[in-house]
Structure 1
């Protein structure tokens, strides 16, 4: 096994980051890149694509504003 630390790319800017305990913001290169990523999550810029449920999937949803009984 090699003792050479792994190098990864910063998810925000792509800069090389050495993956060690001394890399305070890993996997990001800096506090700025970490904040940029957090802001993207907070503004819902990251989304998982989905499709509408099938009409025949067996689950019925009540109209908005009504309670389930």
Structure 2
């Protein structure tokens, strides 16, 4: 989907990263939390998974990009 990396769209898709949208088993306590989200545009719509890492898990953004 076009624009999936846009943070504001991901925030809206998860209702501001609402805890009701968490699908990871460890909930908010883990270093990364998986949310379900609903994205929709003129061409596509559907559920997505968003993995949100804490700053402690990836303190160096460059390292995250290199490993992604």
What TM bracket, shorter-length normalisation? under 0.3
Structure with the greater alpha carbon radius of gyration: 1
TM-score norm. by structure 1 comes to 0.19
Q: Which structure's residues are more often strand, by fraction?
A: 2
Give the alignment's TM-score, normalised by structure 2: 0.19
Q: Which has the higher contact order (CA 8 A, sep 6+)?
A: 2
